[in-house]
Structure formats: C-alpha cells, structure tokens
Amino acid sequence: MVNAIMINNPGAAVVPGAAAILGGKLLCDICGTSAKYLGGQLANYTEAGVQNLERIFENAAKQIQTRNKIEGQVPPRVLKKILSEGYFCEDEVQAMYLGGVLASSKGPVSRDDRAIAYCSLLSSLSTYQIRTHCILYSTILRATHFCVGGQPSPIKIILPTIQKQSLTILIREADYRTAMDLSESEQPENIAQHSFVGLEKRGLSERGIYLCHPRNPKDGEVPFRCFYPTILGAELFLWGNGFGDCGVEAYKPDLLQKIKLPFTVEPYEVHPGQVGFA
C-alpha cells in the first residue's frame, strides 16, 4: 500500500471496521475529518470490492502527495459517491480518474463539492469512453506544432484555442487502437463509435466518430480520426488526474510530467480552427 502523507489530524477518527479494511492512516490522510463517515458497514464488503477501493484510494494518495495537499478534507457527498462507484471499478484508467477526483476534491472548504458533478459524469461513461477521453486529452498536451498551409507553426499556448472552440486534433487510428488495449474478443470499430458518440453527447469532445482515410496513402499517410476538444473535456481530464481544483489553466503540457498514464499517444496533426475531413 502507498505510504500516505503524514498529517496531524486528531479530529479524523475512523471507525475500526473501516480502518481495518482500507487502513485508518490512509483514510485520514486522504479524507481528513470526513473519514468519520466510514463506518462498520465496510466490513460487509467483499474482497474484490475492497481491492477496487484500495486501488482508487492509493491513486488518490499518490496524487495528493504530488500536490502536497496536507490540510483539508473530502466533502462527505463526494466520498459517498466514490465509494459507491469505486466498489465495482476494475479498470485501471477508471480507477485513476476516480482517485484523481477524490484527490482534487480535498480542500479547506467543506461545502466545495464540485467533484460530485465529475463523479456523476464518470458514472455515466463506459470504461471505453473514459479510456478514450484520457487518450484524447493527453494526446492534445503532446502537441507542439500547428499545421498551417502545409507548414508547421509552433504552438505557444493551446488552452485559448480550445476555449474559442477552434482546434482540430488528428490521431492515427493505429495509435488509438493500441492505446485502447483491446483484446481479440472486442470489436474495435464498434467500440470506437460507441466511445466517440458518448463523449460528444456529453459535451466532452466533438466528432471523431468516423474513420478518415487519406487521399494519398502512397505518401505515407494513414487512417486517422479527427476531433474537436471542449473545455468540459479538459476539465474532466484535470479532475481525473488530481488537478481539478487548480482551474482549467492547469491544462498545459507540463501536466504530463506530474501524472502517470498507461499509454503515450502523439498527435498526427493539429490544425487551428475546426477543420473537416471526409
């Protein structure tokens, strides 16, 4: 188990049943005084459910350590939502996002339960949609140049272009499928359509539903998808990686040095404005 942050918080007493299952110190370090809401009912949790929760809380502990968020607490409503959703969470990216939301929600203001909105958003997404979201918004942060008139133009600040809804990202289909880590039993085309449709429906990205084929494959071009990012999509990425309370301004390339992702995907092309591809 992760070595959680040392704090002096005598008000965060944890009921023995919860302490025995998830670790009293870990709970207090993450949740602060809200740990008192974790009672003996956790003793009825199955081993599989407890392991899922442990992974989420350990992810949260890592992110809290990165931020050095010693003081504060997790709002009780957020904690309840994380426990409910996390109990059945077996996917690594979903567990990372839930841990990130938990870490982001810790703060000095007890009524600041903005994380509830992002918990609910995550609960409405499938495992495939969450992973696709993480792939897309981590890929954007690796962009270094715009493609303007066939010539590269350095990208200085990428967030304002997203705020103006004027950015088009191309991602190679092969890179996307590799990052999705699908088995032979899964259907990549159907899953991709499901993922991009779901993200667009919830305002987390636009387009990407259809696979685009290059006009001149002999020139080394490959099949790709293009999508338009949104501010809500960037916000969810921040909350899911432990930086949600920093504001959308935290969505910048150096964020990738502070988080750990299970894949690395470089953008194929980045265009200013909303460019369409047949």
User: pLDDT digit string (tens) for 9-62?
Assistant: 334 444 444 444 455 556 656 665 555 556 555 556 667 777 888 899 889 988
**Does a structural domain hold residue 34?**
yes
The boundaries of the domain holding residue 78 are 16-122
Cα 50 to the center of its chain, rounded Å: 22
Q: Are residues 161 and 220 in the same domain?
A: yes
Given 122, 148, 166, which residue is the final one in a domain? Answer: 122
pLDDT of res. 239: 97
Q: Are residues 133 and 253 in the same domain?
A: yes
More confident: 26 or 152: 152
pLDDT of res. 2: 35
**Does a structural domain hold residue 216?**
yes
Q: Are residues 266 and 146 in the same domain?
A: yes
Angle at CA of residue 131, ends 96 and 189, nearest 5°:
165
Given 72, 87, 122, which residue is the final one in a domain? Answer: 122
**Does a structural domain hold residue 22?**
yes
d(CA 204, CA 240): 13
More confident: 80 or 206: 206
Q: Are residues 245 and 167 in the same domain?
A: yes
| Nearest alpha carbon to residue 5 among 50, 67, 83, 79 | 67
The model's pTM? 0.85
More confident: 6 or 258: 258
